């Protein structure tokens, strides 16, 4: 009975298996990125970037139709341009990075919506941009897996400076000049994972599987390795549970996945062992060495 | 509303004074609500009519929002051709507010309307919440050729009344067009006859093909329990797959699921063939696959036959 509910859908339907694999790949690469975003207080940057990639994807779609690579590539370019421009303005003028990013992503979003609406009447591009985890064909899966692999590789390379920059950027600046390239590489990873996310969850929710697991992990671990492991696990669990929920309750799968993650988040806020509310209200006996 | 009225009246006045008397050849101005009707009128009216279409190629007549320039067109028209059966819910107000004195003709008058078989109007092809004002009859009567012959006759009569001098031309044109419709009807029937009987069914979210289905004996099975908004749930997709497998449906026409990858997934998992695009509510522009009504019907039957044979 429980077996039928939890495993049955995946045995009976290939699209469920593919969705599960896709979610797993997203969890593996997106959740660590989310943890770093959170540690650098850039959680909302992810959201802004998600909107910024819209016009690129739209242009990709206009040029070559529903071509996965064109749309991914366009999204990547638009994301990079917005990230670079806002960084440039922030570094050379009085405007802070958050304000200039907000400006550029809004411009980008407006451009995207304009391009979308200029495209005839019949095909609703927004539906296309609303990715669908249930429709992962081979190529989409390959793209997602490829992006996830790249992410993990690059993350392994820049791990050390990235961690140091998260906790003590001034120190990093004094001992190394890796700060700026690390930051750029990291922003590139953010964009890659957002593009990954929108294939599966759509532009609006692409950030969800990055940020929410990071928030969850923050309540269970204080060290960065532990956080990353827990975030990946939480993301994979949300993906699985969301798919099962979508299958049995008929909820749209993207939102279902994010809502499960939100439930996990609420539970973590309450019961988390590292700074959860219950722990704060009823602290255990102080351990003495 | 007031602004709308004013613009319309001003525009109408301007139009009447400027364009009216200049016209040397007495072409009569006819407004059709959407492309299919416009094509029929053009075939009957020939050179004697000046056609204007409110809802252009590829656009959706159900949810159309008229613009001030439409009011101008309506005000200037001698004859307005509409489908009726609740399709153009927006037209009544437009005609009133435009202040024109055009005759209107309901092209579908005299046909036997069908009740809509799809109760759940949410799953219209594009999946929007349309606010469909269909009411209790299915307006897509033009999908059956015998109905369209009726349309043509209604249009011919209305044109002849509006422009008695051309009555003879209209009669000849209508007769010629009716012959072509008869030939097309025969073509459809023989095409359907070549499809094995147990394969004459497709799964489709098109609610526009009930008349077609009834006239030519191809079943359009609606996917069950699917309310397709922007994103179908895993349960919806699973239900469609199970249904296709169970009823052994050979082809899918699921255009309201806007993500083609999802349709490919469904096809891959069921072994059903993916049908091409069916045109139901609107013609395409000149370069498209269905620039005229006859092209549209030919395209649809060919697409269906390709998917089923």
Out of B121, B153, B183, pick the residue that ends a domain: B183
Strand B79-82 versus strand B251-253 pairing type: unpaired
Average pLDDT over residues B72-96: 83
Axis crossing angle, helix A68-92 with helix A97-118, rounded to the nearest 10: 150
Average pLDDT over residues B84-105: 80
Axis crossing angle, helix B293-308 with helix B35-45, rounded to the nearest 10: 120
Helix (H, G, I), strand (E, B) or coil at B133: coil
Q: Is residue A49 part of a domain?
A: yes
Q: Is residue A242 part of a domain?
A: yes
Helix (H, G, I), strand (E, B) or coil at B33: strand
B57 and B126 share one domain: yes
**Which residue range(s) make up the domain with B26?**
2-183
Out of B128, B154, B183, pick the residue that ends a domain: B183
pLDDT tens sequence across B194-241: 888 888 888 776 677 888 888 888 888 776 555 444 567 788 888 888
To the nearest 10°, report the CA torsion of B65, B230, A64, A133: 180
In angstroms, what separates the C-alpha of B263 from chain A's closest C-alpha?
8
Considering only A110-119, A266-275, B179-188, which range has the smallest mean pLDDT? Answer: A110-119
- How many domains would you assign to chain B? 2
Nearby residues of A204 by Cβ (< 8 Å), 6 or more positions away: A50, A130
Average pLDDT over residues B242-260: 75
Out of B183, B207, B237, pick the residue that ends a domain: B183
Find the closest chain B residue to A15 by CA distance. Answer: B265
User: Do the Cβ atoms of A132 and B126 come within 8 Å?
Assistant: no
Per-residue tokens: B284: 């395409």
**Which residue range(s) make up the domain with A265?**
2-270
User: Do the Cβ atoms of A128 and B59 come within 8 Å?
Assistant: no
Q: What is the CATH number of the domain that holds A21?
A: 1.10.3470.10
Considering only A212-216, B126-130, B212-216, which range has the smallest mean pLDDT? Answer: B126-130
B223 and B144 share one domain: no
B17 and B133 share one domain: yes
Q: Which residue would you say has higher pLDDT here, A176 or B152? A: B152
Q: Do residues B57 and A121 lie in contact, with contact meaning Cβ atoms separated by under 8 Å? A: no
Residues of chain B contacting residue A121, judged by C-beta atoms under 8 Å apart: 58-60
Out of A66, A121, A253, name the one closest to residue B234 (CB).
A253
Q: Which residue would you say has higher pLDDT here, A4 or B211? A: B211
User: Do the Cβ atoms of A247 and B269 come within 8 Å?
Assistant: no
In angstroms, what separates the C-alpha of A15 from chain B's closest C-alpha?
7
B23 and B160 share one domain: yes
What's the rounded Cα separation, in Å, for the pair B161 and B165?
A: 9
Axis crossing angle, helix A68-92 with helix A138-167, rounded to the nearest 10: 20
- Residue A180 — pLDDT band, cuts 50, 70, 90? confident
Average pLDDT over residues B20-47: 79
Element (H, E) at B81: strand B79-82
Q: Do residues A111 and A101 lie in contact, with contact meaning Cβ atoms separated by under 8 Å? A: no
CB atoms within 10 A of CB A16: 23
pLDDT tens sequence across A200-209: 777 667 788 8
In angstroms, what separates the C-alpha of B8 from chain A's closest C-alpha?
26
Picking from B240, B258, B167, B254, the residue whose alpha carbon sits closest to that of residue B207 is B254
B157 and B107 share one domain: yes
Per-residue tokens: B191: 């095409």
Angle B139-B144-B149 from CA coordinates, rounded to 5°:
100
Residues of chain A contacting residue B234, judged by C-beta atoms under 8 Å apart: 9, 15-16, 19, 134, 243, 246-247, 253
Q: Which residue would you say has higher pLDDT here, A41 or A152? A: A152
pLDDT at A145 over 60: yes
B162 and B68 share one domain: yes
B43 and B155 share one domain: yes
Q: Is residue A128 part of a domain?
A: yes
Q: Residue B127: what pLDDT?
A: 38
What's the rounded Cα separation, in Å, for the pair A203 and A130?
A: 6
Picking from B188, B257, B251, B181, the residue whose alpha carbon sits closest to that of residue B219 is B251
High-pLDDT (> 70) share of chain B, % = 79
Q: What is the CATH number of the domain that holds B274?
A: 3.40.50.1980
Residue B307 to residues B24, B199, B212, B303, Cα–Cα distance (Å)? 51, 10, 16, 6
What's the rounded Cα separation, in Å, for the pair B93 and B82?
A: 14
- Residue B8 — pLDDT band, cuts 50, 70, 90? low
Average pLDDT over residues A2-28: 85
Q: Residue A141: what pLDDT?
A: 86
Count of CB pairs separated by less than 8 Å, A with B = 88
Per-residue tokens: A189: 């990873």
B106 and B50 share one domain: yes
pLDDT at A152 over 90: yes
Picking from A237, A232, A285, A286, the residue whose alpha carbon sits closest to that of residue A261 is A237
Find the closest chain B residue to A244 by CA distance. Answer: B234
Axis crossing angle, helix A224-249 with helix A208-218, rounded to the nearest 10: 130
Q: Is residue A106 part of a domain?
A: yes
Residues of chain B contacting residue A9, judged by C-beta atoms under 8 Å apart: 234, 238
A202 φ, ψ to 5°? 90, 160
B162 and B56 share one domain: yes
Angle B272-B123-B60 from CA coordinates, rounded to 5°:
105
Residues of chain B contacting residue A19, judged by C-beta atoms under 8 Å apart: 234
Q: Residue B77: what pLDDT?
A: 86
Q: Residue B231: what pLDDT?
A: 61
Residues of chain A contacting residue B127, judged by C-beta atoms under 8 Å apart: 127
Q: Is residue B48 part of a domain?
A: yes
- How many domains would you assign to chain A? 1
Q: Residue B171: what pLDDT?
A: 92
CB atoms within 10 A of CB A11: 11
In angstroms, what separates the C-alpha of B266 from chain A's closest C-alpha?
8
In angstroms, what separates the C-alpha of A256 from chain B's closest C-alpha?
9
pLDDT at A265 over 90: yes
pLDDT at B21 over 70: no
Out of B59, B236, B259, name the one closest to residue A128 (CB).
B259
Residues of chain B contacting residue A250, judged by C-beta atoms under 8 Å apart: 233, 235-236
- Residue B10 — pLDDT band, cuts 50, 70, 90? low
Expressed in angstroms, the distance from the first to the final Cα of chain A is: 49
Angle A9-A11-A15 from CA coordinates, rounded to 5°:
70
High-pLDDT (> 90) share of chain B, % = 14
Residue B52 to residues B70, B152, B244, Cα–Cα distance (Å)? 9, 17, 43
User: Do the Cβ atoms of A13 and B259 come within 8 Å?
Assistant: no
Considering only A187-196, A256-265, B121-130, which range has the smallest mean pLDDT? Answer: B121-130
B7 and B147 share one domain: yes
Q: Is residue B188 part of a domain?
A: no
B205 and B242 share one domain: yes
Out of A12, A135, A249, name the one closest to residue B259 (CB).
A135
Residue A222 to residues A217, A274, B151, B181, Cα–Cα distance (Å)? 9, 7, 75, 77
Helix (H, G, I), strand (E, B) or coil at B107: coil
In angstroms, what separates the C-alpha of B59 from chain A's closest C-alpha?
6
Question: Model's pTM, two decimal places?
Answer: 0.67
Residues of chain A contacting residue B230, judged by C-beta atoms under 8 Å apart: 126-127, 130, 252
Q: Do residues B194 and B309 lie in contact, with contact meaning Cβ atoms separated by under 8 Å? A: yes
Report CA A93 to chain centroid distance, whole Å: 29
Axis crossing angle, helix A14-39 with helix A43-52, rounded to the nearest 10: 120
Q: Is residue B154 part of a domain?
A: yes
Per-residue tokens: B118: 């799809």
Q: Residue B25: what pLDDT?
A: 60
What's the rounded Cα separation, in Å, for the pair B95 and B80?
A: 9
User: Do the Cβ atoms of A135 and B261 come within 8 Å?
Assistant: yes
Considering only B20-24, B25-29, B89-93, which range has the smallest mean pLDDT? Answer: B20-24
Residues of chain B contacting residue A248, judged by C-beta atoms under 8 Å apart: 235
Picking from B177, B153, B145, B146, the residue whose alpha carbon sits closest to that of residue B300 is B145
What's the rounded Cα separation, in Å, for the pair B148 and B296?
A: 13
Q: Is residue B113 part of a domain?
A: yes
CB atoms within 10 A of CB A222: 10
Q: Is residue A283 part of a domain?
A: no
In angstroms, what separates the C-alpha of A115 from chain B's closest C-alpha?
18
Residues of chain A contacting residue B241, judged by C-beta atoms under 8 Å apart: 13, 15
Considering only A35-49, A170-184, B173-187, which range has the smallest mean pLDDT? Answer: A170-184
Q: Residue A153: what pLDDT?
A: 94
- Average confidence score pLDDT of chain B: 78
What's the rounded Cα separation, in Å, for the pair B84 and B57?
A: 19
Q: Do residues A48 and A102 lie in contact, with contact meaning Cβ atoms separated by under 8 Å? A: yes
pLDDT at B54 over 90: no
What residues in chain A have their Cβ under 8 A from chain B's Cβ atoms? 9, 12-16, 18-19, 66, 120-124, 126-128, 130, 132, 134-137, 140, 202, 243, 246-256
The length of chain A, given as a count of residues: 289
What's the rounded Cα separation, in Å, for the pair B265 and B93?
A: 45
């Amino acid at each position: 009975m429980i077996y039928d509910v939890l495993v049955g859908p995946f045995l009976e339907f290939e699209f469920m298996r593919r969705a599960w694999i896709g979610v797993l790949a997203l969890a593996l690469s997106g959740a660590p990125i989310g943890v770093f975003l959170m540690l650098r207080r850039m959680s909302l940057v992810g959201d802004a970037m998600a909107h910024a990639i819209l016009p690129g994807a739209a242009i990709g779609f206009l040029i070559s139709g529903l071509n996965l690579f064109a749309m991914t590539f366009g999204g990547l370019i638009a994301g990079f341009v917005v990230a670079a421009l806002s960084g440039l303005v922030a570094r050379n003028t009085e405007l802070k990075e958050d304000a200039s990013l907000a400006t550029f992503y809004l411009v980008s979003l407006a451009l995207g919506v304009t391009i979308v609406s200029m495209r005839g009447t019949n095909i609703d591009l927004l539906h296309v941009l609303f990715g669908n985890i249930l429709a992962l064909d081979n190529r989409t899966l390959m793209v997602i897996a490829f992006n996830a692999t790249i992410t993990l590789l690059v993350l392994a390379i820049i791990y050390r400076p990235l961690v140091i920059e998260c906790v003590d950027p001034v120190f990093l600046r004094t001992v190394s000049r890796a700060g700026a390239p690390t930051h750029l590489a990291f922003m590139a990873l953010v964009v890659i994972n957002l593009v990954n996310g929108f294939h599966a969850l759509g532009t609006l929710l692409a950030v969800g599987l990055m940020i929410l697991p990071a928030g969850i992990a923050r309540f269970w671990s204080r060290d960065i390795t532990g956080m990353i492991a827990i975030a990946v696990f939480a993301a994979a669990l949300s993906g699985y549970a969301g798919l099962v929920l979508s299958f049995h309750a008929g909820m749209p799968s993207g939102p279902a996945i994010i809502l499960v993650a939100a439930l996990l988040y609420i539970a973590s806020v309450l019961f988390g062992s590292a700074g959860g509310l219950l722990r704060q209200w009823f602290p255990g006996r102080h351990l003495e060495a | 509303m007031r602004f709308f009225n004013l613009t319309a009246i001003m525009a109408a006045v301007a139009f009447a004074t400027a364009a009216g008397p200049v016209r040397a050849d007495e072409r009569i101005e006819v407004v059709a609500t959407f492309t299919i009707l416009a094509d029929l009128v053009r075939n009957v009216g020939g050179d004697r009519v000046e056609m204007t279409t409110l809802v252009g190629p590829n656009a959706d007549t159900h949810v159309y929002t008229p613009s001030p320039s439409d009011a101008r067109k309506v005000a200037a028209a001698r004859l307005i051709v509409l489908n009726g059966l609740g399709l153009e819910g927006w037209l009544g107000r437009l005609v009133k507010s435009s202040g024109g004195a055009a005759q209107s003709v309901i092209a579908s008058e005299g046909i036997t309307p069908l009740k809509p078989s799809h109760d759940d109007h949410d799953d219209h092809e594009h999946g929007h919440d349309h606010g469909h004002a269909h009411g209790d009859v299915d307006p897509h009567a033009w999908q059956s050729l015998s109905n369209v012959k009726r349309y043509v006759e209604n249009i011919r009569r209305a044109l002849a009344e509006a422009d008695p001098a051309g009555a003879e031309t209209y009669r000849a044109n209508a007769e010629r067009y009716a012959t072509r419709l008869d030939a097309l009807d025969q073509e459809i029937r023989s095409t359907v006859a070549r499809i094995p009987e147990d394969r004459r069914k497709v799964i489709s979210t098109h609610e526009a093909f009930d008349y077609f289905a009834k006239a030519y004996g191809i079943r359009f099975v609606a996917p069950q329990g699917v309310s397709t908004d922007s994103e179908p749930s895993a349960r919806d997709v699973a239900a469609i797959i199970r249904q296709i497998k169970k009823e052994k449906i050979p082809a899918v026409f699921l255009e309201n699921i806007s993500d083609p990858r999802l349709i490919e997934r469904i096809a891959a998992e069921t072994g059903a063939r993916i049908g091409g695009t069916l045109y139901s509510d609107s013609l395409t522009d000149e370069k498209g696959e269905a620039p005229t009504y006859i092209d549209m019907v030919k395209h649809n039957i060919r697409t269906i036959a390709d998917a089923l044979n």
